[in-house]
């Protein structure tokens, strides 16, 4: 077998094998950009080539170095120090919010100028209060429930003259790549409660806000509590390639990625190909089904409150059974328009082919103003959508956007969900308890409800700031729910004690 050699240059047309039986080729731009010391990764599923400049790789490596060192130091950290860190972080956020808010305004203006979405970017006093509440909650849990580091006993087996205790142990360095939501810094801080450290790469649109949070609140809190600086660190570069470099560092215990679409797929592939476990939180979009026993007022309220803003748990697909469609489709449209009116417009509709006869004909001939990230554009009020595209997640700014499909019954609704959705959030509006039970048995999703869909949030539902929400689109993780929090980031150790020094098998 030939020994590997250092890759120092690329040539246009160079063949790069992918997936075992396919190949892709280096284009002229990549070949010209690649310099000695750079890295090249290939996504085995798609053949996409990912270029990491040497300077970016070095910046990421320095952060992982610090996190690995901090992890070793945390092994001897007292529980009181961890609680103190959370309380100091919360207090610093409150005191420093004017500086953080000012940085966020700059980020928002920069994103708007580039025609990019700001729905997840903007922070408010409500955001601050939720971050503070989450951090204070972690402080209380550390003091009363969680043990930092190793040694939290969760089980024991006693034999005649010896025993085995099952205890928790931290995982190590956790890497996070987040979309442009600066408040995730507080969510990610949850890893410290179980003795882990974290390296974060945030979307470039939110980098200035995130840096302001670190400089004014997080870093001082680490110092106040006597924790090492590398306990939680932010990669200080805007290049997307920083995420690829981070997820290829084999010192990571876990890679967590939040975002959507291609970015999540690429990052997950890089980590898996490097032998790093991945928790991917990608495609979102909730489904809501109104069955034959649905209460119209409840259905309308659930739709309205599921469209207050665009995030992963926002209503994306509305399903109505045919025997109630004549009554409930107007309720659906009215509720969606109420949500849109709060933002100064009407809702944008995508109607599954075959369901168009249940909607007013003029929705397909009327044009409306749709507020996109790049600006206001004229679009049809409603367009037809092939059934196989029901899983499309609509990324809207200020114009709520949903897909609509009419079905024969509950079984067909569940079948469409299982075939085309991201296997994420499903809500059934039904007064019939038997229908609810049947639906929950049929639908393959981690989050099921009977009202609005926006309840799916770790802090809102469980009083635990989430690191991410998992769908079941790419398989279920053994013995883990859909909400990933800092408390989940442990492994198990078995500790044996032998009374008899002569014990043997």
pLDDT digits (tens, 9 = 90+) for 296-354: 999 999 999 999 999 889 999 999 999 999 999 999 999 999 999 999 999 999 999 99
DSSP 401: E
Rounded Cα distance between 19 and 485, Å, is 33
pLDDT attached to residue 416? 98
Taking alpha carbons only, the member of 344, 347, 345, 314 closest to residue 329 is 347
Dump pLDDT digits (tens) for 187-203.
889 999 999 999 999 98
The whole-angstrom separation of Cα 421 and Cα 323 is 23
* 8 A C-beta contact, residue 60 and residue 106: no
Instruction: Confirm whether 56-283+484-492 and 286-458 share one CATH topology.
Output: no
Instruction: Give 474-500 pLDDT, tens digit per residue.
Output: 556 655 678 888 888 888 899 999 999
| Amino acid 475: pLDDT | 57
Average pLDDT across the chain, whole number: 91
What's the token pair of residue 428? Answer: 């059934």
Q: Quick one: what percent of the chain has pLDDT higher than 90?
A: 70
**49 φ/ψ angles, rounded to the nearest 5 degrees:** -100, 130
Strand 153-158 and strand 49-52: the pairing is unpaired
Both tokens of 95, joined, read 């005191």
Inter-axis angle of helices 322-341 and 296-305, nearest 10? 40
Intra-chain end-to-end CA distance of the chain, in Å: 43
Please give the Cα distance from 69 to 24 (Å, whole number): 39
**Could you tell me the fold of the domain covering 56-283+484-492?**
Aldehyde Dehydrogenase; Chain A, domain 1 (3.40.605)
Range 71-98 average pLDDT: 94
Which tops the pLDDT comparison, 148 or 289?
A: 289
pTM of the model: 0.85
- Which tokens in the block code for residue 169? 């142990």
What does the pLDDT look like over 356-367, one tens digit per residue? Answer: 999 999 999 999
Q: State the DSSP code for 240.
A: T
Tokens of residue 192, six digits: 């410290």
Architecture (CATH level 2) of domain 286-458: 3-Layer(aba) Sandwich (3.40)
Domain layout of the chain by residue ranges: 15-53, 56-283+484-492, 286-458
Instruction: Give the C-alpha separation, 245 to 243, whole Å.
Output: 5
3-state secondary structure of 178: strand
Comparing C-alpha atoms, which of 347, 363, 351, 454 is closest to residue 396?
Answer: 347
pLDDT per residue as tens digits for the range 435-447:
999 999 999 999 9
Q: What is the pLDDT of residues 217-240, one digit of tens each?
A: 999 999 999 999 999 999 999 899
Least confident interval from 13-17, 24-28, 32-36, 186-190 = 186-190
C-beta of residue 210 within 8 angstroms of C-beta of residue 234: yes
């Amino acid at each position: 077998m030939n020994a590997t050699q250092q890759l120092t240059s690329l040539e246009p047309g160079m063949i790069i094998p992918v997936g075992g039986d396919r190949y892709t080729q280096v284009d002229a731009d990549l070949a010209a950009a690649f310099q000695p010391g750079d890295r090249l990764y290939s996504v085995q599923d798609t053949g996409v080539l990912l270029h990491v400049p040497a300077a970016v790789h070095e910046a990421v490596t320095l952060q992982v170095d610090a996190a690995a060192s901090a992890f070793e130091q945390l092994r001897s950290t007292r529980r009181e120090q961890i609680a103190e860190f959370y309380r100091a972080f919360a207090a610093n956020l409150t005191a420093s919010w004017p500086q953080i808010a000012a940085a966020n305004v700059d980020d928002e203006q920069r994103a708007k100028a580039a025609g990019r979405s700001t729905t997840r970017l903007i922070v408010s006093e409500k955001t601050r209060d939720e971050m503070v509440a989450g951090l204070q909650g972690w402080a209380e849990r550390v003091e009363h429930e969680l043990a930092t580091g190793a040694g939290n006993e969760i089980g024991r087996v006693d034999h005649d003259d010896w025993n085995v205790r099952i205890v928790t142990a931290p995982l190590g360095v956790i890497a996070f790549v987040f979309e442009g939501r600066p408040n995730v810094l507080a969510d990610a801080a949850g890893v410290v409660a179980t003795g882990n450290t974290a390296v974060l790469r945030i979307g470039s649109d939110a980098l200035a806000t995130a840096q302001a949070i670190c400089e004014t609140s997080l870093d001082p809190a680490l110092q106040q509590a006597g924790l090492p600086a590398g306990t939680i660190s932010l990669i200080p570069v805007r290049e997307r390639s920083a995420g690829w470099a981070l997820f290829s560092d084999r010192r990571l215990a876990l890679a967590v990625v939040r975002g959507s679409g291609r970015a999540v797929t690429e990052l997950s592939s890089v980590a898996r190909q490097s032998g790093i476990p991945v928790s991917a939180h990608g495609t979102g979009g909730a489904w809501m089904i109104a069955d034959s026993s649905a209460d119209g007022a409840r259905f309308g309220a659930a739709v309205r409150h599921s469209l207050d803003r665009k995030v992963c748990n926002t209503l994306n697909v509305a399903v109505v059974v045919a025997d109630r469609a004549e009554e409930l489709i107007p309720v659906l449209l009215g509720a969606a328009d109420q949500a849109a009116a709060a933002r100064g417009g009407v809702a944008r509709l995508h109607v599954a082919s075959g369901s168009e006869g249940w909607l007013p004909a003029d929705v397909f001939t009327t044009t409306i103003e749709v507020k996109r990230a790049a600006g206001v554009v004229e679009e049809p009020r409603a367009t037809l959508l092939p059934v196989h595209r029901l899983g499309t997640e609509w990324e809207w700014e200020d114009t709520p956007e949903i897909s609509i499909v009419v079905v024969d019954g509950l079984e067909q609704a569940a079948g469409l969900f299982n075939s085309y959705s991201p296997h994420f959030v499903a809500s059934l509006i039904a007064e019939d308890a038997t229908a609810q039970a049947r639906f929950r048995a049929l639908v393959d999703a981690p989050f099921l409800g009977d009202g609005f869909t926006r309840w799916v949030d770790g802090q809102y539902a469980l009083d635990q700031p989430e690191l991410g929400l998992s769908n079941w689109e790419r398989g279920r993780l053994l013995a883990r729910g859909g909400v990933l929090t800092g408390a989940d980031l442990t492994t198990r150790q078995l500790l044996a004690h032998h009374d008899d020094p002569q014990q043997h098998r």
